[in-house]
Structure 1
């Protein structure tokens, strides 16, 4: 994890007035309590001597965190007071003519005071225990885990939202925070390299989950459903089935580029369609045959893997169990997710790693070739972008190139990037050029050419896991899942997403994903 050089010996100084004239209340009120050590600048341990090379950058970063010595505690208190004041204002503004439920007489009662006293004692015990027994993740001296300090914006946003307790399962219960979640999802997509300027239905989409394990699980769920969707459609096109009237007309492009009637394509060919080809199917059926989303959902429902299970479809079409490939540095959530989705942990196949703990592309090539020869379908290949133990970045560029190679031979699969830890380093790709430090002792962390090239290939992954509670300095729990093609999220809905909207047409976030909230 990128660490900030915040732990210093000597005094912390400000270069300038202790009360900036352009600093509004309450910030100016906090600044007024600080004094300036005019002699500190000459000290070898002063902040200014350390930060001369990039003073503006470190001044900015210093305002983002509480600090390893709680240097910004005054600001935190002021901001928390502002949050409390706004919470009070919101409650007073709603039905202002209603009488108060908790009046002065109640607050003056012995029972009320006893309850508040018990709360005070319990809270002090809890916070005291946390202070004594928690791990000092906030310190630059601590490097045993991925955890780091949380940013002031993240901390304050978390606490502020908790006071209003929105539920993003639908916009009816979260009219503001659902919109925020949608926007944050797009921001993550953009940071990771997806083109959010795309206005088509294939526009990228992302959402927030409770952590990387759930994001990985949702990606498996989506990849599994995508793999079997063409087989479900083939069932619906059989004679006597709901969509048999298009069985002699509806064609599909195979991953090799050949076009066939879907009803005449083999099960192997149908299980190896390109992701975008699968996502196009509902739109094509609606535009070419006027089959609405609701009608299609009803027609396919009995045949979908979510209804009948994968074993039924595998047996009907005489297909071998599909495989998942991920490097041996994988997170434990992958076999766990395979168990939950019914894929089975034995079908999560390890790809050996090289001396740098990165996926060995030559070994993956051999494994994919074996799948092609034996006609064993592949759900997805997972590239780990920052492994838990080593921080290693898998060669996702090579994975993308292998997919192109094997699609020409008839084998296609999804690509997922497990960037729970490393995803935020894609933000480095968007930084403007800055002068080099020229001998400064301020630590500068640059991306290697290899890592940079792999992060640039994130945009080709079909889905990406990213954890704001790791490299994003956001409080636990906060994970995220982004789709290159937003239509992939429709594969995991239980309700028609075009129907599950509020009266104003706003799409609810909770219909997508595994969390019911």
Structure 2
């Protein structure tokens, strides 16, 4: 009890510290740094001196802190004095072994290179590097506040900032005291653990009302709660004990979350009594099988629904939580790899008819292979529809990769000041502050009051530094889905992906922060008012590095999670991705022995336009976007040509990952066998990846990509057949199609070397594709006649000239 009182006092002290200090110098709701070029070490370590200075400063402060803590304490006897020869030998061995490791590390993937497009990572922000390094010297453990008072406070600040970025509004303290729902977020080691935690919370809240009702019926200590009432999905006030099991399983989530606190308050049952009683009636304590056996013997097993593009961590989650892999029901995806709302509605309809509990529905906000964003806006509407019919479920957005793109829509503190200004003079003053904070590099714009509201000036303003590519906004479809994030119960987001932060740094954010109490093992069932509990009490992990919290905090402090910080940075990555996509769809020449088909369809393809319209878009891309043109020239062209701007905005992926497959040609004939196509793309992947341990040698690869496969067992046969027809190969039952993946997470990509680097990377692809095509043809030259489809047309054989058997395909599904 003494330890608990001390811990509560410490948490209160941290909370007071956050309330006071975070309003000023530690707040994350303030402008960040104005020079993006200082945010990274750089592809060629351009900021080497600055990094050295910051690391030296971190060491100096850590050394000083050790001296300042009880300065009169004796120092450790010098080993050099006790055993000089042995000490020197030990240091020499230390350095020798360290140099060995450093030599091996030179063989690591060159993450910061322009040529690295392999995964969802690039260079890491300097603030996150020095923040992690500095805190590592103090070795703080965010499992509990007494082991990490400062980094615990930093993690709380980061949690709030991530919530704001994703669209969860943080109410003020007075509103919280009067019942306002307060969001909450915390750092995890990665997105997989965050996903697992979200399902854990969803499972526990699904069964909590059933357990509470059973406890009230059977435990004498809970007898005073027999008349507690709740609001149902239909808005009716009912006594908890009068509800049947189906109604208890489908209480509104916020009502279920409040139940323990309401019972304690209205029935006068102490928290410790309530917690002890619930232990005998909760799924957390009994396990799912025993819970169903005792209280829900006639209720079917629960399910979780996720699309075919869902990360493999969801299979882990249902297994770890005792639901079983069979409980993960796959939702079909359409030809853009987005959840099919029609199929989701049908699956929910089946559960409603069967009386089967739905624990959670997952929407992917940026798939890791296709960069596809699910129609979250429509999914929210579907949930509201089924709520009216008595079916409740937790809605989770897996934004591990795509979550940070929400920053492109978030206003900065200065934006909010501008909108709140009541006079022209006040607005001009805020604009001058914006200029002072961020800078403008276009001399044609008035240096005092820029025209920030027109398209071209906004694009130039957001560039802020000529070393970066221009930025681009999310397209209309994607914006609509991100605006719906605020309606999700939980959201996963990874700072070590879209936040450019060093590993490990995932995160989970709760719309209703009180939901985290359902997975707490060291805290009371009922929250202590508005006092923020330690971040370490919740989630899957125990010990967790305080260094990760500092890394994310310092990065957010200098690169705000709004449209001027991370939003501008990711907008530049999207601009680079669209230019890469443009180069890809138009790369094949008449004499090339190959052609390429991008998974992400051109806008004309998506709407089923005739081939002539598709060809026109390809010509427009080749002549206006891919032609020798600088970023600034393209920006000007986009600002003056609505059709070109609309095409540029809509083409490519929903974010900045491009998936594509190569096929080969022999004169006027194209390969028709999936196996040969897969062989070609596998050979290309081997040539553009690190395939063996290189003993510390710097990798000798001209371009790094990754690869995957559209497998019928995951995506469904119809999905794979449709892609096969687009490529021009014969569909084969049960056979997947290999594809390559390029991630453009480098904001300098299209400006490096005066814009000449990206065309050179396309030429690398051309060389690799040519070698792979010639190799595969040589390997299978004996069956030439059976292998090829004669088109009578040489050169580019992309989406406007599909296989003659091509036909529209229905949505694809993932098998449970």
2:253 counterpart residue number = 275
Q: Which moved more, 1:435-444 or 1:303-312?
A: 435-444
Q: Secondary structure at the match of 2:145?
A: coil
2:536 counterpart residue number = 510
Q: 1:338 aligned to 315, 318, 321, which one?
A: 318
2:167 counterpart residue number = 193
Q: Which moved more, 1:178-187 or 1:233-242?
A: 233-242
Counterpart Cα distance in 2 of 1:354 and 1:241: 54
Q: Secondary structure at the match of 1:237?
A: helix
Q: 1:252 aligned to 222, 230, 235, which one?
A: 230
Q: Does the Cα contact within 8 Å between 1:171 and 1:506 map onto a contact in 2?
A: no
Q: 1:73 aligned to 48, 51, 71, which one?
A: 48
1:120 aligns with 2:66: no
Per-residue Cα deviation, 1:460-483 (whole angstroms, up to 9, x for no partner): 110010100001011111100100
Aligned pairs for 1:7-406 within 5 A: 60-103=35-78, 105-106=80-81, 109-131=84-106, 133-199=107-173, 200=176, 202-247=181-226, 249-315=227-293, 316-317=295-296, 318-406=298-386
Counterpart Cα distance in 1 of 2:187 and 2:516: 13
Q: Secondary structure at the match of 1:515?
A: coil
Q: 2:493 aligned to 466, 489, 510, which one?
A: 466
Aligned pairs for 1:421-460 within 5 A: 421-431=401-411, 435-437=457-459, 442-460=469-487
Change (3 A) 1:266 1:79: same
Q: Does the Cα contact within 8 Å between 1:171 and 1:507 map onto a contact in 2?
A: no
Counterpart Cα distance in 1 of 2:63 and 2:533: 30
Counterpart Cα distance in 2 of 1:449 and 1:423: 17
Q: Does the Cα contact within 8 Å between 1:293 and 1:496 map onto a contact in 2?
A: no
Q: Secondary structure at the match of 2:185?
A: strand
Q: Does the Cα contact within 8 Å between 1:294 and 1:496 map onto a contact in 2?
A: no
Counterpart Cα distance in 1 of 2:482 and 2:395: 14
Q: Secondary structure at the match of 1:387?
A: coil
Q: Which moved more, 1:290-299 or 1:75-84?
A: 290-299
Per-residue Cα deviation, 1:10-59 (whole angstroms, up to 9, x for no partner): xxxxxxxxxxxxxxxxxxxxxxxxxxxxxxxxxxxxxxxxxxxxxxx997
Q: Secondary structure at the match of 2:136?
A: helix
Counterpart Cα distance in 1 of 2:265 and 2:335: 52
Counterpart Cα distance in 2 of 1:242 and 1:313: 21
**Structure 1 position 264, deviation (Å):** 1.6
Q: Does the Cα contact within 8 Å between 2:260 and 2:526 map onto a contact in 1?
A: no
Q: Secondary structure at the match of 1:172?
A: helix
TM-score under structure 2 normalisation? 0.54
Aligned residues: 456
**Structure 1 position 303, deviation (Å):** 0.7
**Structure 1 position 327, deviation (Å):** 0.6
Counterpart Cα distance in 2 of 1:500 and 1:245: 21
Counterpart Cα distance in 2 of 1:243 and 1:63: 60
Counterpart Cα distance in 2 of 1:499 and 1:234: 17
Counterpart Cα distance in 1 of 2:367 and 2:79: 57
Q: Does the Cα contact within 8 Å between 2:305 and 2:360 map onto a contact in 1?
A: yes
Q: Does the Cα contact within 8 Å between 1:416 and 1:462 map onto a contact in 2?
A: yes
Counterpart Cα distance in 2 of 1:128 and 1:512: 40
Q: Which moved more, 1:289-298 or 1:318-327?
A: 289-298
Counterpart Cα distance in 2 of 1:333 and 1:430: 29
1:51 counterpart residue number = none
Change (3 A) 1:288 1:58: closer
Q: Secondary structure at the match of 1:79?
A: helix
Structure 1 unaligned regions, length at least 5: 1-56
Q: Does the Cα contact within 8 Å between 2:275 and 2:525 map onto a contact in 1?
A: no
Counterpart Cα distance in 1 of 2:513 and 2:459: 41
Change (3 A) 1:88 1:498: farther
Change (3 A) 1:498 1:225: closer
Counterpart Cα distance in 1 of 2:282 and 2:254: 19
Q: Does the Cα contact within 8 Å between 1:500 and 1:508 map onto a contact in 2?
A: no
Per-residue Cα deviation, 1:276-308 (whole angstroms, up to 9, x for no partner): 011111221132112232221111111111111
Counterpart Cα distance in 2 of 1:346 and 1:498: 31
TM-score under structure 1 normalisation? 0.84
Structure 2 unaligned regions, length at least 5: 1-31, 416-451, 544-816
Q: Secondary structure at the match of 1:474?
A: coil
1:4 counterpart residue number = none
Change (3 A) 1:496 1:394: same
Q: Which moved more, 1:57-66 or 1:302-311?
A: 57-66
CA RMSD of aligned residues (A): 2.2
